[in-house]
Chain A
Amino acid sequence: MAREYMDGATAIVRGAIDAGCTFFAGYPITPATPILLHMVRELPKVGGVALEAEDEIAAISMCIGATLAGARAMTATSGPGISLFSENIGLAIMAEIPLVIVDAQRLGPATGGATTGAQGDIQFLRWGTSGGYPVIVLAPASVAECYTLTLRAFDLAERFRVPVFLATDKDMVMNMATVDTEALKRVPVRERRLAATPPPQYRDPRWRPEETFLPWAFEPIDAVPPMAHFGGPHIVRVTTSTHDEHGFLTKDPAKVQRLNEHLWRKIMDHREETEFAHYDPQEGADVLFLAYGTPARAMREAVRQARAAGHRVSALTLHTLWPVPEGILSFALRGVRRVVVGELNFGQYTREVERIAYREAARHGVPAAEVIGVYRVDGLPLHPEAFLKAIT
């Protein structure tokens, strides 16, 4: 059985290449820089373009432009760069741009701790642009998952035409680990769905684009429209503003409502397609450990030790953070007396778990599970002890 020894950054880049990524623009920032360096070195070998942009705003703008011209694009940064991405994340939502964004989280706020890990961006990734429309956020908890979830991110980006984030952290990206080659499963990535080629007579410029193609017609409302690239068989109009089925600006309330409902429902009506997690239940356990990213490793170590000491605990590693995997969570919360959530922030995801726990309890007329958050914000990884102490 072959193994490899590598860091998360290498696994992410390999995932991107295997997913068919052909464009990368980034701006150096610890701990995301290794991804930029790998991409600049490797992407020409697969016919792609990778570059260092003049800033993060340019990096994501270039990714958006390149995607519209036919590329599969990714960018990578850390919290300060996500801040600069903010407005363009909104554009990518509005213009339905499939895009993969890696956030190698570091300690905040602001410049914070460049070389220290954290998970302070978890709510920010979800709510980091105006309007409140959904994005997808995945979180790998091992080097192998850095690979598989990058593929998954590219797949979901195509499926939903939306930015998909890979929420990692400094330790996940920079630490080296043994990887079983078999764990590097090549998750299938959907091809981009393109609008059908029109009959040749439509190439006659006397046809107006809007007479031959409606790039923004959503039928039914939760359906994701096929893409038409610049330079392809259709002429296509893309805009950051509220638009009609042609891509012309509109303020018609009925059309505005329909567009915005579409942006919401294309993801939220299909959220079960986005739910990924690793559930490790134990018979008779009424304590559930829950974590994502690097703390999930400490959590699994804690599970190992707890079970060896005779405790009964189940464990849930979330691979999807947004949309909140409510199906998985409500399933894992059944019959649980206490949930211990470990995070490298002050409980940003604990509140989501709490919300689901209370809702499920009310729904079933049972007492809600007690949700205990164990946090660490000093830049060091969460220790298995943190979970173990919260068992009793």
Chain B
Amino acid sequence: MATRPASPIPVSITWDTYRNERSYPFCPGCGHTHILNALNQALVRVQRDPHKVVLVSDIGCVGLSDQYFAVNALHGLHGRSVAYATGIKLANPELTVIVLIGDGGTGIGGHHLISAARRNVDLTVLVFNNFNFGMTGGEHSVTTPIGAHTATTRQGNPEHPFDIARTLSINGATYVWRGTTFDTDLPDRIAEAIAHPGFAVLDIWELCTAYFVPNNNFSRKVLQDLQHRLGMEMGLLHREERPEYAQYHRRLIAEQEGEPALPARPLTPRYHSTLHHPFRMVVAGKAGGKVRSAARLVAAGGVLSGLWATQQDDYPVTIMSGHSVSHVILSPEEVLYSGVDIPDVLIITAAEGLAKVHHFLRRMRPTETVFVTPAFSDVSTAARKLLINPRDAGIRVTRTNEVLLTLFAAMRHLAIYPIDALAEAIRILQRPSIAEQSLTALEASAHVKPRPIS
């Protein structure tokens, strides 16, 4: 089979460099043949190394197209060609990526076209627009003109046709052309689009001789007049230069490559804990009150003291309103089950949190402890109640430090591990500006003494 000459490279590019020997499978007169011939002429003109060219074909008769070219090809799912092409271009920006898509694919995958246009990904999209689904038997598509007869619009199409070119040009495409397969400048336009460094789309109107032509007495002349009937102008509709999307990502890489990715924050145990059994603590506050980050510090302080910790946070999807409840377990052994049946300690700092922990209050016994801020001193429970007033700290109590002051005061009272472990957790886990506030709260919390409520 291998009888071709092994000549030294580079060789000159000719009409059969990109187009192989296989003959097209399309019906006689099908517009797809014209577009592919024009594409071949354009490729010969642009002279890209075939190894660096990728055709991404959609589904439909147009989806067969890539098989007649001797370049890389991906024949993918219906409507998704532009999304594959985006992935290809992002992974290797040096590739010339050309999408071959039908009006059918433009309908089912329209969102991908609009998104790629908005991003200005350097793709060339050729829309093989024959106003119907060829492959499945002439059903109407998003571009079928009003009144046209198709297999699914026998009384005439009632749907307004989708203006591909104008939609994409007002949504960020940087090269937009509309024409027909009978336009003699089609190969030039394709070549121009390939060379254009951004999202280029050519909406190419053509004949489906098997379905749309016979069903509508359609012809070359009617096709060429259609633009007037539909009020859709032809020609180069839009062209501009705008930053390209794959280049944007290359720039991010150029700026950031080599920085440590997701650096580990080791917590090396160096403090000692008095805990001999699992300790379950629930902090019930309100969203935006730093409940989760405060609970995280308490857990990390435990880890620094040789304990195993787990944390399960409960909050609504609207994170700035409603409750925020954190469940923390500290244990000398690995914590396997992270659920809490009955907490050893429950801390209530907000009504939103209280609403979520009534089941705990009901189940807690006198051996367990509930810490409350003054507003909740009358909650009813069999557990021992201790009052914490963050105002005793002597610093201004804010939305962001109230929970910290309360929790730190409770931790001082419980003496599960040294307060220095908490200070170290703050320094390791928090950004310096935030850590400073937390350390201030930690220090001030020494003045907050939990008091029994009878």
Contacts and interface: CB of A to CB of B under 8 A. Distances in A.
B30 to A, nearest CB: 18
Contact of B67 (A45, A174, A248): A248
| Secondary structure call for the A interface | mixed
Interface string B79-92: 01001111111111
Contacts, number: 265
Contacts of B17: 205-206
A175 interface: yes
Interface in A81-130: 87-88, 91, 95, 114-115
Given A69-B92, A230-B95, A239-B74, A206 B312 contact: no
Given A206-B11, A232-B51, A240-B77, A69 B268 contact: no
A230 B52 CA distance: 7
Given A201-B9, A206-B4, A235 B336 contact: no
Interface in A180-210: 181, 200-201, 203-209
Contacts of A45: 256-261
Interface centre among A115, A203, A230 (most CB of B within 10 A): A230
Contact of A87 (B2, B67, B77, B86): B77
A249 interface: yes
Interface in A18-58: 22-23, 25, 30, 38, 42-49, 51, 53-55, 57-58
Interface residues of B, number: 85
A65 B88 contact: yes
A206 B11 CA distance: 9
A4 interface: yes
Interface stretch (A255-263, A271-279, A364-372, A377-385): A377-385
Contact of A71 (B91, B262, B300): B91
Contacts of B147: none
B91 A66 contact: yes
B446 interface: no
A329 B210 CA distance: 57
A114 B92 CA distance: 36
A23 B77 contact: no
A67 B86 CA distance: 12
A44 B70 contact: no
B268 A2 contact: yes
Interface string A1-26: 11111000010011001000011010
Contacts of A65: 56, 74, 83-91
Contacts of B7: 201, 204, 206
A204 B51 CA distance: 10
Contacts of B52: 231
Contact of A47 (B74, B80, B111, B257): B257
Contacts of A69: 54, 87-89, 91-92, 95
Nearest to B256: A44
A209 B11 CA distance: 16
17 contacts: A3-B268, A5-B300, A5-B303, A44-B255, A49-B253, A57-B83, A58-B112, A61-B84, A64-B84, A65-B83, A69-B89, A71-B87, A71-B91, A175-B313, A177-B310, A240-B77, A297-B338
Interface of B: 1-2, 4-9, 11, 13, 17-18, 20-21, 50-52, 54, 56, 64, 66-67, 70-77, 80, 83-92, 94-95, 111-112, 114-115, 249, 252-253, 255-262, 264-269, 296, 299-300, 303, 307-317, 334-339
Q: Which 5 A-B pairs have the closest CB atoms?
A: A65-B87, A61-B83, A62-B87, A65-B84, A69-B91
